Structure formats: C-alpha cells, structure tokens
C-alpha cells in the first residue's frame, strides 16, 4: 500500500518543520491511521501532526481506524509518498503460498484411496502380516482416531473432529508453543499421517517405485463453485502381491494425502478469514469416508445488519450416490437445502424435513425453509484463479 500526504512545507508548525528536516527518501516513519467518524476520510497521526492522506495504490480500503503503520518514505516532492512496510511482508507471504502450491498441487491426491486401504487392512484378518510393527501401530492409531458418522450429529463432537482434521495442525502447534495445554495433537489426522509416513520410510517403502491402479478422479481442493463429494474408493491393496508392495502403495498414497492437506491449508490461507474448507475422514459401517465442509462468510443482507454464514457439506453414500447440504444463516434466520443424486434418498430426506425445521425452531432460529432437491448443485463459479495460475 502506498499513501500520499501533502508536502510538509505547506504545513506551518514547528512539528512540521522538524519532520520536514528529518525525512529523507528511505526514512522509516511510524504512524497511526485515523478515520473521520462521519466521512471515513483517512488521516495519519504522525507525532503531534494529523495529516490528510490518500491511498495511491494497493488495498483501496486502506488501513482501519487506529491501525498502527510503519511507512517508508518513497519521495518528498511534489507530494510526500510513503509505502507500508507491511505490504512487502504481504507480498513475500503471497509468493511463498504460490510456490508451495506449485509444489503440492501436482503431488496431491484424495485421501479416499488411502482410507479404503487402511480400513481393509484393519478389517481383514491376516492382511497386516509381514508389515513392520511400527507401520501396523501407525495404521491402527489412524483408524482409532477417526470419528464415527454418528458423532457428526453432536455439535461438540463435530467441532472436536474438525479441529483434528489436519488443516489446523500448525495452528495447534503454535498454541502448544505459546503454552496451550488442551491441544489434542496425538489425534490430529495430519500428525498421524506424518507418523505413518515416518514409519513407512524407516521400513524402506519407496513411493516413487510403485505404480498403483488408477484411482477414481477427485476434484481439487477449491474454495469456489459447487462442493463436489469425494467418491469412495476400492481397496487397491487387495491385489498387492507382497508386503513390500503394500508398503510402497501406502507410501505413495500417504504422500498424496499429505500434499492435498497442505494444498487445502494454503487455499484457506489465501481466503482467510472469510472462507475455510476441510475434508473430514470418518468411519461408517466399517468403512472410511471423507465428508467435505466449506464455511463461507457473507456480507450483510438488506434485511439484517449482521454478516451471514453459508455452510456446505458433501458426502458420497456409495451405491446410493452423493448427498449435499447447504445451510445459510443470516442473524437468527436459517434456510436449509438438501440435495441427493438418488430419488429415493430425496424422498427419505423429505419425510424428515419438518422434523429438522422443528428442531431448528426449538433452538431459537427462524426457519425460512427446508427444501429437498434431486441432483447435485450447479457449479456457480469458475475454478479458483490461484490454482489455475499454478497449473498453467
């Protein structure tokens, strides 16, 4: 961000004269943004002076009232031009995110094939014979950590499961470093995947040497457009001929799942704080599934002064097809849209729609509607430009 101020030689005061004598190109200036309560006009409080300011480039909204700024003098005539040092830091962060996306997007793959194999290993007797104990322990720890689909109906359990989905691992590590004591790192999905990767590496697994059967295609982590469910995958390890082949296949799938988690985290960083997406691994009927969630903050509506939220969730039910839910909340008003690929599932959902509406009303919400529709939601937006830039 660059701002322009009137030339100090036109401001007649001792403070202005002192500043004019001190400032040179490259000098660092500390300032506080001041906004007029009525017009919102920006001024900068610098020492004893308050000078009107104009945003010359960068974020047109400019700094908020009371925001502390560090500015570097770019030029002193014909007007005084200053550049925010935070801008350089933001540019560096943006470059780092773009570089990380270029590394992880080509390597990422859905965690669904890995989860299918882990479920198969733990459910089929004798299939883990020949695998190192450290790998077996890591596999069991992952499976034991996964929430059940029934847990998703409990608000507290759902929140806890989302916190352990892997996308918040680094944030939790920061909390631990700051003295936090209630962070369940031992149950975090990404942390457990990293432990499995370490065990596989120590066991001699070679992900690059394994050619797996082609997995069903899955959508990239994308914060725009329709939230597409991730289809269940077959257990590819069922055709692995030796324990080494199993280790190599697991190593490849763990690498892809970690790259996808990192990609999702990077996309969330770019969209913060208004949008967050995560893919939550859960257990359902001795199988592992991925439930996709996206939380998007929306602006104020013409009927409410409060900002709203839209929550999308998508799950694939196997032969019953995909289901999608969208919950829109604006103040205390809520609307729910449920969609399914199967006409029978739509009919089943419709029979419970009034029960859901009554439950929401009992919790103090004003229900606009609960509607059940056939078919998945249309793709309302183009793919994310960030991912398009990376893949170009």
pLDDT digits (tens, 9 = 90+) for 348-386: 999 999 999 999 999 999 999 999 999 999 875 544 444
pLDDT digits (tens, 9 = 90+) for 29-78: 888 989 988 888 899 888 778 888 888 887 777 888 888 888 888 887 77
- Strand ranges of the sheet holding 333-340, from the earlier edge strand across to the other edge: 275-284, 287-298, 308-316, 322-330, 333-340, 366-374
Which of 91-100, 267-276, 347-356: highest mean pLDDT? 347-356
68 and 162 housed in the same domain: no
Within-domain flag for 98: no
Separation CA 128–CA 120 (nearest Å): 10
Within-domain flag for 67: yes
80 and 131 housed in the same domain: no
Q: Nearest to residue 229, comparing CAs of 125, 318, 97?
A: 318
239 and 367 housed in the same domain: yes
79 and 120 housed in the same domain: no
Separation CA 226–CA 271 (nearest Å): 16
Q: Which pLDDT does position 385 carry in this prediction?
A: 42
Residues 347, 351, 355: CA angle, nearest 5 degrees = 145
Q: How confident is the model at residue 345 (pLDDT cuts 50, 70, 90)?
A: very high
Task: Say which residues have a Cβ less than 8 Å from residue 367's Cβ, sequence separation at least 6.
Answer: 333, 334, 335, 336, 357, 360, 361
Whether 23 shows a pLDDT value over 80: the answer reads no
Higher pLDDT, 168 or 5: 168
pLDDT digits (tens, 9 = 90+) for 307-320: 799 999 999 988 89
Mean pLDDT across 152-164 = 92
85 and 112 housed in the same domain: no
Q: What percent of the chain has pLDDT over 70?
A: 84
- The structural domain count of the chain equals 2
| Mean pLDDT estimate for the chain | 84
Within-domain flag for 167: yes
Higher pLDDT, 1 or 351: 351
Within-domain flag for 152: yes
Within-domain flag for 33: yes
Mean pLDDT across 261-272 = 88
pLDDT digits (tens, 9 = 90+) for 184-196: 688 999 999 999 9
42 and 64 housed in the same domain: yes
Within-domain flag for 169: yes
Within-domain flag for 138: yes
54 and 137 housed in the same domain: no
Note down the domain range covering 64: 2-91
Q: How confident is the model at residue 87 (pLDDT cuts 50, 70, 90)?
A: low
Whether 282 shows a pLDDT value over 90: the answer reads yes
Q: Which pLDDT does position 317 carry in this prediction?
A: 87
Q: Are strands 80-84 and 68-75 parallel, antiparallel or unpaired?
A: antiparallel
Q: Select from 35, 56, 91 the last residue of a domain.
A: 91
How far CA 321 is from CA of 45, 112, 115, 214, 234, in Å, comes to 60, 15, 19, 21, 15
Q: Select from 38, 56, 91 the last residue of a domain.
A: 91
How far CA 10 is from CA of 20, 25, 30, 142, in Å, comes to 10, 18, 21, 68
Q: Which pLDDT does position 26 carry in this prediction?
A: 78
296 and 163 housed in the same domain: yes
260 and 173 housed in the same domain: yes
311 and 183 housed in the same domain: yes
Within-domain flag for 149: yes
Q: Select from 37, 57, 91 the last residue of a domain.
A: 91
CB under 8 A, 24+ apart: contacts of 234-237:
234/116, 235/116, 235/117, 235/119, 235/120, 236/113, 236/116, 236/117, 236/212, 237/117, 237/120, 237/121, 237/127
Q: How confident is the model at residue 243 (pLDDT cuts 50, 70, 90)?
A: very high
64 and 113 housed in the same domain: no
126 and 211 housed in the same domain: yes
């Amino acid at each position: 961000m660059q701002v322009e101020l009137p030339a100090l030689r036109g401001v007649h005061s001792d403070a202005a004269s002192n500043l004019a004598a001190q400032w040179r190109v490259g000098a660092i200036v500390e300032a506080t943004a001041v906004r007029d309560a009525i017009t919102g006009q920006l001024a900068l409080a610098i020492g004893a002076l308050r000078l009107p300011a104009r945003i010359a480039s960068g974020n047109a909204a400019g700094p908020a009232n009371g925001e502390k700024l560090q500015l570097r003098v770019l030029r002193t005539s014909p007007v005084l031009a200053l550049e925010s040092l935070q801008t350089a830091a933001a540019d560096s962060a943006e470059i780092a995110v773009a570089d990380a996306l270029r590394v992880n997007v080509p390597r990422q793959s859905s965690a669904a094939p890995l989860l299918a194999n882990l479920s198969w290993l733990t459910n089929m007797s004798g299939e883990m014979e020949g695998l190192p104990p450290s790998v077996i322990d890591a596999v069991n720890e992952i499976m034991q950590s996964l929430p059940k689909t029934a847990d998703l109906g409990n608000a507290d359990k759902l929140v806890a499961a989302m916190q352990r989905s892997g996308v918040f691992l680094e944030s939790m590590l920061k909390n631990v470093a700051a003295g936090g004591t209630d962070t369940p790192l031992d149950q975090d999905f990404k942390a457990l995947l990293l432990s499995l990767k370490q065990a596989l590496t120590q066991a001699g697994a070679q992900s690059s040497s394994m050619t797996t059967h082609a997995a069903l295609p899955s959508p990239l982590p994308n914060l725009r457009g329709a939230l597409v469910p991730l289809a269940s995958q077959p257990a590819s390890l069922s055709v692995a001929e030796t324990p080494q082949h199993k280790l190599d296949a697991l190593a490849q799938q763990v690498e892809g799942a970690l790259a996808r988690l990192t990609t999702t985290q990077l996309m969330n960083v770019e969209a913060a704080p208004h949008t967050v997406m995560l893919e939550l691994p859960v257990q359902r009927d001795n199988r592992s599934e991925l439930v996709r969630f996206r939380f998007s903050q929306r602006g104020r509506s013409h009927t409410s002064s409060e900002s709203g939220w839209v929550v999308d969730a998508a799950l694939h039910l196997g032969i019953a097809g995909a289901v999608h839910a969208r919950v829109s909340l604006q103040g205390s008003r809520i609307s729910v849209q449920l969609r399914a690929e199967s006409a029978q599932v739509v009919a089943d959902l419709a029979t419970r729609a009034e029960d859901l509406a009554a439950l929401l009303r009992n919790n103090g919400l004003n229900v606009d509607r609960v509607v059940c529709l056939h078919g998945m939601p249309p793709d309302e937006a183009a793919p994310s430009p960030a991912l398009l830039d990376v893949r170009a």
